[in-house]
Amino acid sequence: MPFKERTEVAEMARRVLNSGPPNSFKTTSLLTWYRPIHIISCPGEKGWETIPVGMEGVHSYVWEIEDPAKVTSASVVAEVDKLILDVLTGKKGPVTTLALDGIHKLYDWDYKRARVELEDATYLNDEQKDIRAYGNPQGGAYKAFLDRLHKVLASTVPYVVCTVWEDPEKDDPQDKSKNAPMHTYPALPGKIAKRIVGEFSVVVYSEVSSPVADLKGEVKGTWQIRPGGKVWGVGVKAPLDIALKLPKHIPQDFPTLERLLKGEK
């Protein structure tokens, strides 16, 4: 059956995008998701060193290659897609949560592959090839990236979480002024930076406190879950009575987030 009747309030709050700057505990917070969790560090993404080895229920995959110069972008994309499929279909063992760490890196590989495929198109100049490689809903990196994302989000895996860097985006792309108003969204090219927010049921933004501001010198991580201040690329799809009661910030802890989305304390 391609359709099923919804029976649980928070059942769609299981697809989460976590954006934020480097070193804001995005990767570390993945360990708060339900296990078994399979964490795929996208090729080129750093931070996997924070994931413990040998922890029960935690499976971590890191891309390694002896000579990166000999690797084609097409082979990298194919390897990532195969690993994702193996996890989704249970070939890597039981899975409750699939985590894709650093999906902005995947977009880069999709672009490189699309650009190489256009290299022999002599009827296009380099600028035209670049534009086509970035793509749109009908082709290029844009379509390849979203097609993969749609398959992952539509899978039967109970929980999916993706992490991505953040970047300021102009409120009005047509505003060419030096001081054009800008707000923070996921670090992806063009229109997809804003549109990807709508692909997930929950989008959070990772922040860390200043150790100087803490009496003990500790750094604490929080998630911003409601738009405000400089960050607009966050939000929660939830019934209105629940959404209105949500705080702006919560600890970086998924069970806490899930309880709030179910209307529990």
Summarised one tens digit per residue, pLDDT across range 155-193 is: 999 999 999 999 888 777 778 787 888 888 898 988 898
List, as own/partner pairs, every contact residues 66-72 make where C-beta atoms lie below 8 angstroms and the sequence separation is at least 24, other chains included. 72/113, 72/116
H/E segment holding residue 242: helix 240-243
Q: Answer whether residue 68 shows pLDDT above 80.
A: no
- For residue 74, the model assigns a pLDDT of 96
pLDDT confidence of residue 211? 53
Please name the amino acid found at residue 120: D
CB-based burial of residue 81 (10 Å sphere; 0-12 exposed, 13-18 middle, 19+ buried)? middle
264 or 96, higher pLDDT? 96
Instruction: Give the E-state strand segments of 66-224 in sequence order.
Output: 97-101, 159-164, 166-170, 182-186, 202-208, 221-224
Helix axes 126-134, 103-117, angle to 10 degrees: 140
State the chain's mean pLDDT as an integer: 90
Of 123-127, 147-151, 193-197, the least confident: 193-197
pTM: 0.91
122: left (phi over 0), alpha (psi -120 to 50) or beta: alpha
Q: pLDDT digit string (tens) for 103-112?
A: 999 999 999 9
User: In the structure, what pLDDT confidence band is assigned to residue 8 with cuts at 50, 70 and 90?
Assistant: low
